[in-house]
Amino acid sequence: MKISNSIDQSEDVDKFGFAEISDLEASAVGGGALVSVSATAYAAGGDLTVAWTDVTTTAKMLASGGSIAKGKGIAIAIGDYQFAYVAVYGEGDKVIERIKTHYFPKQNMTVAKGFVIAIDYP
């Protein structure tokens, strides 16, 4: 059995110059392995204002009786005032997770990305 969730969301500016995407989340459960990824992007002001997020999770039962679940997410915010954040969570016998956030001052851009892998042994 394989479960896969993918959510992609982007937003242009409203009439007040704001673009916001918040609490975009995907989760996957396979046996004893669980992952959850949440991405948030917010941007306001400037000539180019964009907020974009994408999260994907997958869970798979293994023939040996164990399971593995994977998740990744990215958030990009461009504007004079921007905020991008990715949160990951995993549960299982072995969990590997990583989050990085980069700010690019010349482009007024913040990029956050993260991944999580959860493994449940038989």
**pLDDT of amino acid 27:** 66
**How many domains, in total, are found in the chain?**
1
Query: What pTM was estimated for this model as a whole?
Result: 0.78
C-beta of residue 59 within 8 angstroms of C-beta of residue 26: no
Note the pLDDT tens digit of each residue in 59-68: 888 888 888 9
Cβ neighbors of 105 (< 8 A, separation 6 or more) are: none
- Domain with 100, as residue range(s), is 2-120
* Ordered strands of the 18-30 beta sheet: 18-30, 33-44, 81-91
CA distance 90 to 103: 26
pLDDT per residue over 75-86, tens digit each? 999 989 899 999
**Count of CB atoms within 10 A of residue 103's CB?**
13
Query: Which DSSP letter does residue 107 get?
Result: G
